[in-house]
Amino acid sequence: MIWLKFALMLKKIEHIGIAVKNLKESNELFKKLFGKDLYKVEAVESEKVSTSFFMLGESKIELLEAQNENSAIAKFIEKRGEGIHHMAFEVDDIYAEIKRLQTEGFEILNPEPKKGADNKLICFLHPKTTNGVLIELCQEIK
Ligand code: CMX
């Protein structure tokens, strides 16, 4: 019997998340910078964020504005100011990747993946276990 199994690894940078104070203003700024328009604006209530997405080649840039002061984005901006908030990597099987990375000693912030922006199942790794970088895994919901 032939077993078809996805390789367990992070496949590519899916997007880079940038925390911004004012999404409307930043949308205009990044439109000018990239020379192209965003393709999606989406509110993610579970994460208390409003987002917009730009496609650049194979990768995306996600801008994130906090919906209220309890949002991770509000806390991040208060402590560190606007800037790169996370890097997201595409995976084929998020459940298998979570198990693999837990075995490797990484702390998974939400071991039960949740629905994120742009039709993805997502989970985060704590930055204290990844050299200070907040890492997101994301799998396309089919
Ligand atoms: N990148 C790197 N380090 C970060 C960070 C980030 N985005 N956010 C917080 N930290 C740092 C803090 O500065 C702190 O560092 P120090 O200990 O040196 O001060 C450390 O992580 C831990 O901070 P904490 O006080 O224990 O935890 P916080 O309340 O700041 O929460 C985190 C941090 C990562 C656990 C929390 O933000 C989280 O659970 N994030 C995942 C969910 C998320 O970010 N959602 C928004 C995006 C949603 C989307 O993409 O759609």
pTM of the model: 0.94
Atom of ligand 1 nearest to the CA of 85: 7
User: Residue 1 has what pLDDT?
Assistant: 46
Mean pLDDT value across the chain = 94
User: Residue 22 has what pLDDT?
Assistant: 98
List pLDDT tens digits, range 82-93. Answer: 999 999 999 999
Ligand 1 mutation target, pool 110, 114, 124, 131, most atoms within 8 A of CB? 124
Residue 4 Cα to ligand 1 middle (Å)? 37
Buried b (16+ CB within 10 A) or exposed e, 7-26: eeebeeebbbbbbbeebeeb
User: Residue 8 has what pLDDT?
Assistant: 83
Instruction: Please measure the distance between the N-terminal and C-terminal CA atoms of the chain and give it in whole angstroms.
Output: 26
Residue 11 Cα to ligand 1 middle (Å)? 23
14 lines ligand 1 (CB under 6 A): no
List pLDDT tens digits, range 50-84. Answer: 999 999 999 899 999 999 999 999 999 999 999 99
Which of these, 128, 87, 104, 88, lies nearest to 8 by C-alpha position? 104
